[in-house]
Structure formats: C-alpha cells, structure tokens
C-alpha cells in the first residue's frame, strides 16, 4: 500500500495544481493519518507479508474500522534457499533495522497515531529487540539502547510477541505454559522499559520459544491466544 507520506505529498501537489494556492499541510495530515496503525512481522521462511502475525493484525483491523497496517520488510530467513540463504543472525539484524526505520518514519509522518506491534517467531524477536533494547549479542546486534525514537516508543500502545525466541521464564508480560526459555533468551534479570505494553505468548511444547518438541505448537498462537491478545490491545488503546 502507498505510504502515508507519499499520499500526503500527492494530495498536496494535486491541490496546489487545482487551486494555485498553498495548502494547510497539518490539516491534510490529520485527514490522512489513521487513529491506529498496526505493524506485523512474519516468522522465518514465511513469504513476504504478515505470515502468522496476520491473524492478530486482522483482528485489530476488524475491531477498529479505519485502522491501517503494514508488514515489516525483512528477510525472515534462517539460511534456507527459499528466502535467499540469508543467515538467521543477518536476518534478525536486518529486521531490527527495518523495524526502526518503518516505525520511526511512520511516527514522524503521523505523530498522533496510536501504534501496535504484532510479531510472530523471528518477527517477535525483531520487535522485542527494537522495542525493549538490550541488544541481541547471539545474533551480532550489539547496540543495547532502545533503537526506536522516544516519540515512537510513546506512540506504541501495545506489542504482541508470539513464539518469540527471546522468551525467558519470569518476565512480567509472559503468557502461556513455558517455564524455561527460547533458543535466544534474554539474560536473567532482564527488564524491558516498556513491559506494561507487552504480552508475549509461549507454551511449553514449543521448540523455538521454549524447549519443547512440537513444532505445531509454534504455529498455533493466533488461534489459541488471538482473542486474548486483541482484548489486551483494546485495553491499551484510547
């Protein structure tokens, strides 16, 4: 879909051609910027788009008419030929950078829009790293600061992580039966500055966000927890 910024630029140009008069940019932006915008990030090897994050993204859109959305454009790869052979670590780093660019740019264009993040598996990991900071040394991302702008962080009202490999037992926003950790866990004692805005879903039999052996569990969070996630998001939106 065309970006809000490009749409605004086009409308300004058309209005100027039609009237020959300056256009009130602030008024145009208010008309074009949605009340709510959702970012979705897909899991490893899912084709470009929302992947499994789309279940919750669509629930939010259905519950809030006029909501817009966009998928984070990143490799979502783990070395497989189907996604270009990009290593998992490189994909995560590219993903974090893509999140920062997309979210900061949108917030700069629409500073009053409420933002929601929905990430699935590796998509949850890149949102986790971008929103909470702390770095991701196992994947070669050494920046421990929160890379998103302070304004963007404030605009993010809710973040949903499903099957996040950074999961570790004991985080205040955890939901599900996992009592251990994922394959790239946060360090013991980690604290996310935006913890109150997050819910992270992981069950014990998941081999990626926990230490289970049932890959099917990893694909089931949208169906199992989607309505619960929507209720949490709704509680955070104004």
Q: What does the pLDDT read at residue 26? A: 47
Q: What does the pLDDT read at residue 19? A: 44
pLDDT value at 21 more than 60: no
Domains belonging to the chain, first-starting first, are: 34-236 (3.40.50.1820)
Q: What is the mean pLDDT of the chain?
A: 92
* 206-227 pLDDT, tens digit each: 999 999 999 999 999 999 999 9
Greater confidence (151 vs 26) lies with: 151
Reading the block at residue 17, the tokens are: 């051609």
Q: What does the pLDDT read at residue 30? A: 56
Using CA atoms, how far residue 105 sits from 102, 108, 194, 208, in Å, is 5, 5, 20, 31
**DSSP H or E stretch at residue 198:** strand 198-201
Sheet holding 174-175, edge to edge: 68-71, 36-41, 114-120, 156-162, 198-201, 174-175
List residues with catalytic annotation.
121
* 163-199 pLDDT, tens digit each: 999 999 999 999 999 999 999 999 999 999 999 999 9
Which residues fall within 8 angstroms of residue 110, CB to CB, at 6 or more apart? 4, 29, 32, 33, 34, 37
- Our measurement of the distance from residue 102's CA atom to the centroid of its chain's CA atoms, rounded to an integer in Å, reads 10
Q: What does the pLDDT read at residue 167? A: 99
Q: What does the pLDDT read at residue 81? A: 98
Rounded Cα distance between 121 and 234, Å, is 22
pLDDT category, 31, cuts 50, 70, 90? low
pLDDT value at 33 more than 80: yes
pLDDT value at 137 more than 50: yes
Rounded Cα distance between 167 and 146, Å, is 18
Among all chains, which residue has been given the structure tokens 């009237």? 19
Using CA atoms, how far residue 110 sits from 49, 129, 144, in Å, is 22, 23, 27
* 46-89 pLDDT, tens digit each: 999 999 999 999 999 999 999 999 999 999 999 999 999 999 99
pLDDT category, 135, cuts 50, 70, 90? very high
pLDDT category, 133, cuts 50, 70, 90? very high
Q: What does the pLDDT read at residue 176? A: 99
């Amino acid at each position: 879909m065309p970006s809000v910024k490009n749409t605004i630029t086009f409308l300004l140009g058309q209005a100027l051609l039609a009237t020959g008069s300056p256009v009130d940019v602030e008024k145009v932006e208010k008309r074009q910027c949605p009340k709510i915008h959702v970012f979705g990030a897909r899991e490893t090897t899912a084709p470009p788009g929302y992947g499994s994050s789309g279940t919750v993204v669509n629930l939010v859109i259905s519950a809030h008419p006029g909501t817009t959305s966009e998928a984070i454009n990143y490799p979502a790869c783990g070395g497989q030929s189907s996604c270009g052979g990009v290593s998992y670590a490189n994909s995560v780093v590219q993903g974090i950078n893509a999140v920062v660019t997309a979210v900061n740019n949108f917030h700069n264009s629409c500073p009053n829009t409420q933002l929601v993040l929905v990430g699935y598996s590796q998509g949850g990991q890149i949102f986790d790293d971008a929103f909470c900071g702390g770095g991701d040394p196992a994947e070669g991302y050494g920046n421990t600061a929160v890379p998103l702008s302070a304004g963007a962080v404030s605009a993010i009202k809710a973040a949903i992580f499903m099957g996040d490999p950074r999961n570790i037992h004991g985080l205040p926003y955890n939901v599900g039966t996992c009592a251990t950790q994922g394959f790239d866990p946060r360090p013991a004692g980690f604290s996310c500055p935006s913890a109150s805005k997050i819910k992270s879903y992981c069950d014990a039999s998941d081999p990626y966000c926990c230490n289970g052996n049932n890959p099917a569990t990893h694909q089931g969070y949208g169906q199992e927890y989607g309505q619960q996630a929507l209720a949490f998001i709704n509680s955070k939106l104004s």
